[in-house]
Structure 1
């Protein structure tokens, strides 16, 4: 696509108004589903008809989301507890087998889980924190995508959505977080190049922008959260990329809040 075509597409995605059943019968996995954008995305997908697989580190938070979905009479979700910092590739493969056994397929993955790490010059950055950030934000994303790849390839219109950031073009003092998001966008592009011509599977990324989340509050402690959009405000792109309407959209980085 040309730049103008990309711009028009992104405007269309941000303005997307979903039909009430646009995700009916889809199976969608959401990482970091216990809080923030992941929680809202999981609830939104369920309201639009999807069976949501709630993946996260904190069982109690996942149970709260599960209960909220159940209380609304929506498709029964599933809880997949997983610590992305410590999980092995073998355990991820076992999770993929579990999904295939229990649900028969997987239509989409939202890689939402991330940690901020430290905001400090690279020369002072703690190597242990650096490794932790890269492991959760990037390495585990690659590993989980690879483990789920056969299931996603088998879907009629499989969709993988990565989470990027405005600092994916590295910004001073954002350290490992910025580098992890730059790598995430690169991963999205590589997967796209390697699959776009011979599969229906699609890879895209979303930059949520300044959103009212705990991570944002830690990064900007002096900021008034009431001046920011809520996760509910930015769901259009998250939904669109999981619908069949996005079947031809590949390798895009969608900014939910363009400057």
Structure 2
């Protein structure tokens, strides 16, 4: 795993939004951020999953999180504006944004991939990520030290057959991160953008992609959190435009 030992108060007083916070890597990241002192905004489509995580964080005596039911598939620009207005009203800034929500879509040759399926994956994995980033950038700029983290994939760094729209969307994720990092370097040096390839992880999405695989061969989402904590905390200040991996 990525070698980083986060101190207990690493994220104290920070406000961090996590997309796809209800399950998998998003849930683990939100839990880890809260355990290290952050006020976490739990964004996801299934409110019951977010409520369960809210209860666990509150029961642990960690900073009170905020549940943000939000469907990235159907959200319109005004919904992103409303979300940004809520965060500004309640907190005045945003110190971190983890883009984690995505869908895998059909794993098949691009030649046979239905256009509607390609469009759906790109809408959730790329378009929504762009719109959310754009809406929240003013709040990130208002922070003294803000971090944008994009969850990528090995198939977004080297193309692989039969990964369909998902692989293409993760290449787009890397491109969005790199473009944004280059723009922010001079216009907002207090905001950094980087990506993380989590590698094979014991999640529902991994099981969907590899139904015959023994899940025990992969680490749990909790085991890959060091790199996410590093990027969200002040120790990564000055690290910008980098494509990191959770597993060495």
Give the TM bin, normalised by the shorter chain. Answer: over 0.9
TM-score by length of 2: 0.98
From 166, 172, 182, give the equivalent of 2:154.
166
Question: Which whole-Å deviations, capped at 9, do the CAs of 1:224-248 have from their partners, x for residues lacking one?
Answer: 0011111111000100101111110
Could you tell me how far 1:128 is from its partner in structure 2? 1.3
Runs of 4+ in 1 over 4 A off after TM superposition: none
Taking the aligned partners of 2:122 and 2:128, their CA distance within structure 1 comes to 8
From 230, 235, 238, give the equivalent of 2:220.
230
Question: Which whole-Å deviations, capped at 9, do the CAs of 1:196-217 have from their partners, x for residues lacking one?
Answer: 1242110000000000000000
1:251 aligns with 2:238: no
Q: What are the within-5 Å matches in structure 2 for residues 1-259 of structure 1?
A: 14-168=2-156, 169-199=158-188, 200-258=190-248
Taking the aligned partners of 1:166 and 1:92, their CA distance within structure 2 comes to 29
The higher relative CO (CA closer than 8 Å, separation ≥ 6) is in 2
Could you tell me how far 1:126 is from its partner in structure 2? 1.4
Count of residue correspondences: 246
Taking the aligned partners of 2:215 and 2:161, their CA distance within structure 1 comes to 23
* RMSD over equivalenced CA pairs, Å: 0.9
Could you tell me how far 1:195 is from its partner in structure 2? 1.2
TM-score by length of 1: 0.93
Q: Where do 5+ consecutive residues of structure 1 fail to align?
A: 1-10
Question: Which whole-Å deviations, capped at 9, do the CAs of 1:139-184 have from their partners, x for residues lacking one?
Answer: 1001000000100011101100001000012211101000000000
Residue aligned with 2:186, SS: coil
Residue aligned with 2:111, SS: helix
- The match for 1:6 is none
Question: Which whole-Å deviations, capped at 9, do the CAs of 1:81-105 have from their partners, x for residues lacking one?
Answer: 1110100111101100100101121
